[in-house]
Structure 1
Amino acid sequence: MVPETLLPDSGRRVFVALGDSFTEGVGDRDERLPNGVRGWADRVAEKLAKAQPGWRYANLAIRSKRLRHVIGEQLEPALTMRPTLVTLYAGGNDILDLKTDMAVLMDDYEKLVAQLTDTGATLVLFTGFDVKVSALLEPLKKRNTFYNQKVRAIAAKYGAVLVDYWCLDAFHDRRMWDSDRLHMSKAGHKYLAGQVLDQLGVPHKIRLKDWEPPAKLSLREWEQHQRRWIHDWVLPLFGRKLRGVTLGDQLTPRWPEPVKVPPKGGLKKLAAKYPAGSAWR
């Protein structure tokens, strides 16, 4: 049964998504949409509109953003939109920064959650997944565990809906991840959208792909994959860090203002109305 507080018979229905690449939709490529991606949040917005037409949707998330950027750049615009549903995932990029003080980070995270809670909107929070990218990142597992423990506690304290991403076993399949191994693939984004909708009580028909077991790589194939990953993703990442730039520096939010989501045709139908090069792209 769909919760009455989420999908009321009348009144405002505004969904605002906040965060970084996780929420922007990186890994789920679609050149017909802003920033060339789709993602789980777009899919959730479309299912909301199908369940009850009239939902408006804004996605302020931009790849590479740290928690301080979400607070400084996304919070105020979100508050002015008077949201009735907010999703927040932030802090993952901070965990990768070894100088981050995790206690301070989570204090700031809780303050952000408190402000969003004060809007009266339904708030959805996420734990982080233990992505098996490389043995070099295993020391970060303790930081990720600390983050997840705090998110769970904060969600309980403020009455937020929790999507416990850490516990979703489906993501142990490498096909749920994009070639950079850090962002979900199209299949991963689609599955996560279903998990969010389940938590919100919104009907949908999203199901986990019925895959055959993944083929085991030979040593030569594994080495080829490693070399390609290092060349295509690791070296460029370190290069950007040395230059002090990120992939999100030149991007704007995909849906900066709440747009009414068409119940039929979804956001792709809406995007087709805008010429290439429009400001929202």
Structure 2
Amino acid sequence: MPSGEYQRYVALGDSQTEGLGDGDDTAGLRGFADRFAEHLAAVSPGLRYANLAVRGRVAGQVHAEQLGPALALRPDLATVVAGVNDLLRPRFNAAEVAGHLEEMFAALTATGTQVVTLTFPDVGKIAPLARPIRSRMFDLNTHIRAAATRHGVTVAETARHAVATDPRLWSADRLHASPLGHERIAAALAEAIHLPGSDDTWTRPLPPQAVPRGRQAAAAELRWAAGFLGPWLGRRLRGRSSGDGRTAKRPQLLPLDATPASPADTGQRESS
């Protein structure tokens, strides 16, 4: 296979990889994995792509539910992105979460699959009310880098670029990337694997914009907490997940322009 060409790309993960924040459940979700597949297909016209991600999944669930199917598809390239849902749980252990990621790294790379992952930006700069858990994010990133090094996994370092926390790269819920954010993540992955035609333009800042301050900023935080954080916490306290009853949107390897069969659960509209 010529350098830079891939034939079988499989994405594992949670709601970000599924594509929440980029489209909707009615018209269809796009997301960074779909966009990354488009970058790949531009170089490898015969690319086939599967997306096993399901919203609401913690790293242990991604490991338990998606690794086996991913290995069965024999990918030559895989993205593994998970752990954010773990960060928001009362009990969080970065080593344990990264351990699930590392086991996926090990199993996939052992078959010759090239694996790509990413680090997470400072959540405290995206949602100020989330500042108490920013140390968890930093700890998880450190563990991800170490695990990736041990298994020859490529890391797209989105955490190290200020643009990753620009509000315009995040949807209104601040939990999922916006279409522009998903576009930048896809570009970061493409650059990380040195895909022909990729470059570092994804790291460049957006034009300046007015930032709410004082009472406006405080009011915005309260609206976000009431509209998104509260309902999210409520689901967790009730033992519910936005991914309950859902399956992967693209479980089989298909050409990029092929439309997968609609899952039986498309009537569910709740997002994580």
| TM-score normalised to structure 1 length | 0.84
Deviation of 1:64 (Å): 1.2
User: Which of these residues, 175, 178, 182, is aligned with residue 175 of structure 2?
Assistant: 182
Aligned to 1:73: 65
Specify every segment of 5 or more residues in structure 1 that has no aligned partner in the other structure, as ranges: 263-269
Q: In the TM superposition, what are the counterparts of 1:134-173 in structure 2 within 5 Å?
A: 134-173=127-166
Deviation of 1:102 (Å): 2.6
Specify every segment of 5 or more residues in structure 2 that has no aligned partner in the other structure, as ranges: 267-272
Seen in structure 2, the aligned counterparts of structure 1 residues 125 and 210 have a Cα distance that, compared at 3 Å, is: closer
- Secondary structure in 2 matching 1:57: strand
Seen in structure 2, the aligned counterparts of structure 1 residues 219 and 30 have a Cα distance that, compared at 3 Å, is: same
Aligned to 1:119: 111
- Cα pair 1:194 1:204 within 8 Å, conserved: no
Mean alpha-carbon deviation: is it higher for 148-157 or for 104-113?
Answer: 104-113
Q: In the TM superposition, what are the counterparts of 1:1-281 in structure 2 within 5 Å?
A: 4-7=2-5, 13-30=7-24, 36-132=28-124, 133-204=126-197, 208=202, 211-262=206-257, 270-271=258-259, 277-279=262-264
Quick one: distance in 1 between partners of 2:152 and 2:45?
26
Quick one: distance in 2 between partners of 1:235 and 1:280?
25
Mean alpha-carbon deviation: is it higher for 206-215 or for 154-163?
Answer: 206-215
Deviation of 1:62 (Å): 1.1
- Cα pair 1:65 1:248 within 8 Å, conserved: yes
- Percent identity over the alignment is 36
Q: Which residue identity does 2:17 align to in structure 1?
A: T
Structure label with greater radius of gyration: 1
- Secondary structure in 2 matching 1:180: coil
Quick one: distance in 2 between partners of 1:166 and 1:158?
20
Deviation of 1:181 (Å): 1.2
RMSD: 2.5
Mean alpha-carbon deviation: is it higher for 243-252 or for 217-226?
Answer: 217-226
- Secondary structure in 1 matching 2:116: strand
Deviation of 1:152 (Å): 1.1
- Secondary structure in 1 matching 2:23: coil
Quick one: distance in 2 between partners of 1:123 and 1:205?
18
- Return the structure number with greater relative CO, CA threshold 8 A, min gap 6: 1
- Secondary structure in 1 matching 2:12: strand
Q: Which residue identity does 2:252 align to in structure 1?
A: E
- Cα pair 1:6 1:85 within 8 Å, conserved: no
Question: Runs in 1 of length 4+ with deviation above 6 angstroms?
Answer: none
- Cα pair 1:23 1:61 within 8 Å, conserved: yes
- Cα pair 2:77 2:115 within 8 Å, conserved: yes
